[in-house]
Amino acid sequence: MHKTYGTEQELRSLVLKLLTPKFDRAGIDVDGFDLDTDLYESGIIDSFDLVELLADVEDATGLTARLTVDVDTNVLTLSINRIVRSLRKTGPASQG
């Protein structure tokens, strides 16, 4: 059974908790971090870290992220806020 994460703040807290070792390794204070900063472009995570993060979030919540390219900029931004919003839109992962 997955823990219920009913609000964006709860999901954001989970993502931040999962990313804390990455922030620590980079010497970045989580409390002062802009949640709209691209995690990949800033060097906090790489593509493997992203896959691991999304799998860990899905394991903890049952939610799966559906990240998409921004229609206006044609760019995929991997920020904490963007990841959380994609989780809130999708609902539980399908079983199968």
- Residue 2 domain flag: no
- Residue 63 domain flag: yes
Domain tally for the chain? 1
Given pLDDT bands bounded at 50, 70 and 90, which one contains residue 74?
confident
- Residue 71 domain flag: yes
**pLDDT tens, residue by residue, 13-63:** 999 999 999 999 999 998 889 999 999 999 999 999 999 999 999 999 988
- Domain extent, residue 59, equals 8-90
As a whole number of angstroms, the distance between CA 83 and CA 86 comes to 5
* Structure confidence at residue 94 (pLDDT): 47
- Residue 21 domain flag: yes
- Residue 96 domain flag: no
Q: Based on DSSP, count helices (H) and strands (E) in the chain, helices before strands.
A: 3, 0
Closest CA to 5 of 58, 46, 67: 58
**CATH number of the domain within which 37 lies:** 1.10.1200
